[in-house]
Amino acid sequence: MSSNSANGNGIVGTRVPLIDALKKTTGEGFYTDDIKLPGMIVGKILRSPHPHARVKRIDVSKAEALTGVHAVLTGDEPGAQNRFGVLPISRDEIALPKPGAAGRAGRVLYVGDCVAAVAADNEEIALQALALLDVEYEIVPAIIRVEKGLEKTTEPIQDRTKDGTNVHKTVEQQFGDVAGVLDNSAHVRTNEFEFIGVNHAFTEPMATIAHYDADDRLVLWSAQQVPHYLHRALADVMEMPMHRIRVIRPMVGGGFGGKSDPFPHEMIASLLSRKCRRPVKILFDREEVFYNNHGRHPTKTRIIVAADKDGMLTALDVDATIDGGAWGSFGVVTTYYNGVLAMGPYRIDNFNYAGRRVYTNKAPCGAMRGHGAVNTRFSFEVTLDQLADDLKMDPCDLRLKNLLPANTETINGFRITSNGTRECIERARERSGWDQKYGQLPFGQGIGLSCGFYISGSAHRIHFNELPHSTVHIKIDMDGGVTVHCMAAEIGQGSDTMLAQCVAESLGIKMERIRIFSADSDTDPVDLGSYSSRVTFMAGNAAVRAAEKIREKLIQAAARKTGYPAGGFVLTNEKVVYKPNPDIFLTFDEALTAALAKSGALIAKGAYLDPPPIGKRNEFKGWRAGLSPTYSFQAYMAQVHVDPETFEVRVQKVWAAHDCGKALNPLAVEGQIEGCVHMGLGQVLMEDMSYLHGTIQGPNFLDYRTLTPMQMPDVDVIIVESGDPEGPFGAKEAGEGPLLPILPAVANAIYDAVGVRVFSLPITPDKLWKAAQRQGVKID
Amino acid sequence: MILPSFKYHQPTTLNEAFAVAKTCNGDFDFIAGGTDVLPNYKNRLNNRSHVISLSAIKELFELGDSKIGAMVTLVQLEKNEWLLQNHPAIAQAAHLIATPPLRESATVGGNILLDTRCWFFNQSHLWRESKGFCLKADGNDCLVVPQKDICYATYSGDLAPVFMVLGASFHLAGPAGRREVAAADFFRHDGITRYVKQPEEILTHISLPENAGELRASYRKLRLRDSMDYPVMGAAVALRLNGKIVDELRIAITGIDTTPFLYDDITKGVSGRELNSALTAQIANDVMEAVKPYRNVHFTPQYRKAMVGVYLKRLLQELSGD
């Protein structure tokens, strides 16, 4: 299979605008909220004002009597109590609590949790109806602080917890002899970090339309990253076979992990529609997006890093207490990722991890760009900087000395293939002028470094089965257009464009021939969804494999038509050319006509299954966590200015080197890297999902501050292409790993500028000022 | 989020506006650009049944001749040649407010009369229900400083402190006639009543004293982002120097307390003294010691207090040409 190198057709590796960009920017494209169906009505959800309460009784009579109300839904509705969740191992979500029911089934678990719902002619009537719902609550003591959740309780938030506490999941892994090595290491640093929760802050709020139609089929349009997992969850909740349900993903205005769970509002819309037989639309306001959350977990991380006198890293010990909020979501994976992704890109032979995820009465946390790895990466890279200080070594040199080589295996069983970390560090170092800047800039100015490491698709399936990770169908009919079907979810990251490029490159044709169908579960084959940075690697490979089969059909036809041997033909520049004598060729359309003769439309299927077997299989609990067919690597440098009196931080410039294997579309890779820098700067400098006694302090975009364009620094994107042996044309991920290093790079730069470290995020000026005061920082 | 329903009126004269207001039995708000009123309405914060727009009353739009109409937009303010030449601090402060799209509709009057802000107040009905309603909307207790008498929400307007240090006057018109109130006397220490303007009165314009142009003035605001955010501390300074000797100095601070506050008691005493670094430090420190921020907006009170000192020192250095 020749999927690991470009065909030289100039499609792959070229800067291509995303194929849906014009539709989006001109307003022609449509998102879920743009869809209007005949007879469509509005669904609204009543949300809990209490962080933890039993719903004893709901009187729906007044709401039902209101003119314009079509349905009122409570947990008494069949299906509303059926459990669901993105991970089959922790299905602890329900659409609505059942009034009067015992245990979790009858309780609301956080401020903003769904209590009941209505469907009405318009939003105004729906809001009036919500106000007419008479709910009797019985307050249950709420667990707000994560430490409190570690204690025994008589009324745990969820039914399945550890030993009568609110602990959802624990992970313990040990490799080598950490305790023994720590005793004998020349340099040991221990730090405790605190990370506040952050939200994805995607542009498009949650939106869904459910239509339980005249054929007793459920059609659901929803802003989703994982339509397939939603499809499965709908089948469970509605108690319908999957083939009676059709899931459609319209254009999605950003996800970043925040649309990668099946959600209660999707179940509620479906149940409402079944109840009143009308299409029901639910559109969130921003406050509801914050209550639904599923953002990055607030985490307390204790980390110990040790090195010998020469600067070789000897041991790493990570302990993470992870605040999960009220539901499981991806939390089991999060708990693993906080540990298992810590070591890369470094070789360390002794590693301990202990992590626990705790249920609390707060909005559920879940996956977010850089899932599980961001907070530990910050802890590790900041601590590494301190070790470099202790060792009197340049931070670049310390890292270079400890890099994992390519084509190796880590002590926890990750199979490392391509690895461009060294090139990332060296190129960023040169372009930034690091050697003239680090430790030498005037007080108030500084430069900092961090590396990064991330999976490129989870090799482990969420559902245990033998189905492929991704399947692509290609069809070409006599019009000459190439139709590509695959449920890989385009959420703005460019997956449709990636599929189009892979197919066009493989067939040597222009991009304009390609049309991507990736939205409809009735017609498009399963792809597991846009999460874990898997789409380019997995769906891309599937697309290449399908295209190769089509290519073979066209070559056979050309060989028949010309009489020359098939082995000599290549597809390039809209032609099927006999390579030994390029004067012998058919145009693509001629070859197609020949191939279609007496056969009809060409169709082919490609699938991505699994990476080759990896070591350590079954040797320890959790061996699957973090396994990926390949990994991405980064090295970032950030230069900052810190006002020496106000401690306001301005990031002036970022040099961002990322090993994506091969940039299929350098324009899209740059966009992903710049977007990651923007998002990561938000978490390190300002984003803050604090709670005021159980309620999110500022569930709106004025109080929850993301970076504006005014704060965005110039980013020098350095694309490193290590050429992955198994990636499509050598490619691996570029969507999540590039977020990781910006946070510690900025923290390390702040330290270089003013000699102050803040051990909790975000590093706001008031915190930095206070730390400087405590430290007695003097302005030179 | 959708707006609650209300009846919208658009009178074309002040007298017509007063007449409409009279028919509303106190259940009305005047509205200018709407960038403050309407978000509060969406949150169901003291929303009224009648909204009376000032957008068709021509006399409120005048700009020039030491007179700024209340309906002048912030964008007009920041780009106005006369202001840029004679009172650049006003244009400068306007430029720092909110975002360009908001400044297109937001007005001078709206910014001066900006409702006070607090994280227990500027929230949805559900949010406030979860915390218990506060004194300023639907409740009986202040949740910042526990008591039932006054509201400690923070005043966050950027223009008022500049008008204060320039000695401006605010002109009000009401059913009973017109009156002029010095900017310094306009505000009241309570986040609910906020100022001396009566509900049925309309702020028509701001006037600047003839000698205001002789003052060098400047404004700086503390906030996390360079755009969008309200000030969590803003400092305005106006200074007239005779050589190095202070002729006149005025300082006003916003974003800290329930009102913008003028520190004449501190600055009066420095007239006639040489503005050297020791005096600069002393003034900055005295004002810093006088402010009392509450914990109800972003950034810690300690930090905001300390920044009063830093900002004033920098403003005094800027204005004295140091």
Distance CA A711, CA A679 (A): 12
Measured between CA atoms, the residue of chain B closest to residue A112 is B126
Asked if B303 and A124 come within 8 Å (Cβ–Cβ), the reply is no
Candidate from A124, A694, A708 with C-beta closest to B226 = A708
Q: Residue B53 has what pLDDT?
A: 98
**Measured between beta carbons, which residues in chain A are less than 8 angstroms from residue B124?**
287, 699
Asked if A764 and B224 come within 8 Å (Cβ–Cβ), the reply is yes
Q: Which residues fall within 8 angstroms of residue B146, CB to CB, at 6 or more apart? A: none
Helices (H), A145-263: 146-149, 178-184, 227-238
Percent above pLDDT 90 for chain A:
95
The DSSP string of B51-89 is EEE-TT-GGGG-EETTEEETT-BHHHHHH-HHHHHH-HH
Q: In Å, how far is B38's CA from the nearest CA of chain A? A: 15
Q: Residue B322 has what pLDDT?
A: 55
**Measured between beta carbons, which residues in chain B are less than 8 angstroms from residue A711?**
225-226
Asked if B127 and A695 come within 8 Å (Cβ–Cβ), the reply is yes
Asked if A692 and B131 come within 8 Å (Cβ–Cβ), the reply is yes
Asked if B2 and A124 come within 8 Å (Cβ–Cβ), the reply is yes
Q: Does B12 touch chain A (CB under 8 A)?
A: no
Q: What is the pLDDT of residues A48-66, one digit of tens each?
A: 999 999 999 999 999 999 9
Q: What is the dihedral of CA A139, A140, A144, A145, to 10 degrees?
A: 140
**Measured between beta carbons, which residues in chain A are less than 8 angstroms from residue B293?**
none
Provide mean pLDDT across the span B134-142: 96
Domain B223-319 is classified in which CATH homologous superfamily? Answer: CO dehydrogenase flavoprotein, C-terminal domain (3.30.390.50)
Residue A690 has pLDDT above 70, yes or no: yes
**Measured between beta carbons, which residues in chain A are less than 8 angstroms from residue B126?**
47, 49, 111-112, 287
**Per-domain residue ranges of chain B:** 1-56, 223-319
The DSSP string of A138-150 is EE-----SHHHHT
β partners of residue A76: none
Asked if B310 and A127 come within 8 Å (Cβ–Cβ), the reply is no
Residue B118 has pLDDT above 60, yes or no: yes
The dihedral built from the CA positions of residue A673, A675, A677 and A680, taken in this order, carries a sign that is negative
Residue of B224, B280, B308, B317 best to disrupt the A interface, most CBs of A under 10 A? B224
At A291 the three-state DSSP class reads helix
Distance CA A689, CA A511 (A): 43
C-alpha separations of A554 from A260, A586, B122 in Å: 39, 10, 65
Asked if B130 and A698 come within 8 Å (Cβ–Cβ), the reply is no
Q: In Å, how far is B295's CA from the nearest CA of chain A? A: 12
Q: Using 50, 70 and 90 to split pLDDT, how confident is the model at A5? A: very low
What amino acid is encoded at A381 in this protein? E
Q: What is the pLDDT of residues A338-390, one digit of tens each?
A: 999 999 999 999 999 999 999 999 999 999 999 999 999 999 999 999 999 99
Asked if A646 and B228 come within 8 Å (Cβ–Cβ), the reply is no
The DSSP string of A300-363 is EEEEEEEE-TTS-EEEEEEEEEEEEETS-TTHHHHHHHHHHTSSTTB--S-EEEEEEEEE-SSP
Q: What is the pLDDT of residues A466-495, one digit of tens each?
A: 999 999 999 999 999 999 999 999 999 999
Provide mean pLDDT across the span A444-468: 95
C-alpha separations of B287 from B253, B264, B284 in Å: 9, 10, 5
Q: Residue A4 has what pLDDT?
A: 38
Q: Using 50, 70 and 90 to split pLDDT, how confident is the model at A1? A: very low
**What domains appear along chain A, each with residue ranges and CATH number?**
21-29+464-608 (3.30.365.10), 394-459+625-775 (3.30.365.10)
How does DSSP classify residue B5?
P
What amino acid is encoded at A78 in this protein? P
**Measured between beta carbons, which residues in chain B are less than 8 angstroms from residue A47?**
126
At A739 the three-state DSSP class reads helix
Asked if B1 and A287 come within 8 Å (Cβ–Cβ), the reply is yes
Q: Residue A611 has what pLDDT?
A: 74
Q: Using 50, 70 and 90 to split pLDDT, how confident is the model at A693? A: confident
Q: What value does the mean pLDDT of chain A take?
A: 96
Q: What is the pLDDT of residues A494-544, one digit of tens each?
A: 999 999 999 999 999 999 999 999 999 999 999 999 999 999 999 999 999
The dihedral built from the CA positions of residue A725, A726, A732 and A737, taken in this order, carries a sign that is negative
Percent above pLDDT 70 for chain A:
98
Helix H, strand E, coil C: the string for A215-232 is CCCEEEEECCCCHHHHHH
Q: What is the pLDDT of residues A398-428, one digit of tens each?
A: 999 999 999 999 999 999 999 999 999 999 9
Tokens of B99: 């975002």
How does DSSP classify residue A31?
B
Q: Residue A6 has what pLDDT?
A: 52
Provide mean pLDDT across the span B28-53: 97
Q: Which of residues 193-252 of A touch B (CB under 8 A)?
A: none
Q: What is the pLDDT of residues A609-666, one digit of tens each?
A: 977 666 667 788 998 999 999 999 999 999 999 999 999 999 999 999 999 999 999 9
Q: Using 50, 70 and 90 to split pLDDT, how confident is the model at B85? A: very high
Candidate from B124, B303, B310 with C-beta closest to A766 = B303
Residue A194 has pLDDT above 80, yes or no: yes
Residue A3 has pLDDT above 50, yes or no: no
**Measured between beta carbons, which residues in chain A are less than 8 angstroms from residue B131?**
692-693, 695
**Measured between beta carbons, which residues in chain B are less than 8 angstroms from residue A699?**
124, 127
Topology of domain B1-56, CATH: 3.30.43
Burial class (CB in 10 A: 0-12, 13-18, 19+), B73: buried
C-alpha separations of A690 from A145, A199, A307 in Å: 12, 11, 36
Q: Which of residues 294-313 of B touch A (CB under 8 A)?
A: 298-300, 302-304, 306-307, 310
**Measured between beta carbons, which residues in chain B are less than 8 angstroms from residue A764?**
224, 299
What amino acid is encoded at A353 in this protein? Y
Q: In what order do the strands lie in the sheet with B233-242?
A: B216-222, B233-242, B245-254, B261-262
Tokens of A116: 């009941």
Residue A179 has pLDDT above 70, yes or no: yes
Candidate from B130, B230, B310 with C-beta closest to A49 = B130
Q: Residue B169 has what pLDDT?
A: 98
Q: What value does the mean pLDDT of chain B take?
A: 96
Helices A666-685 and A742-754, packing angle to 10 deg: 50
Contact between B155 and B258 (Cβ < 8 Å): yes
CB atoms within 10 A of CB B208: 22
Contact between A85 and A329 (Cβ < 8 Å): yes
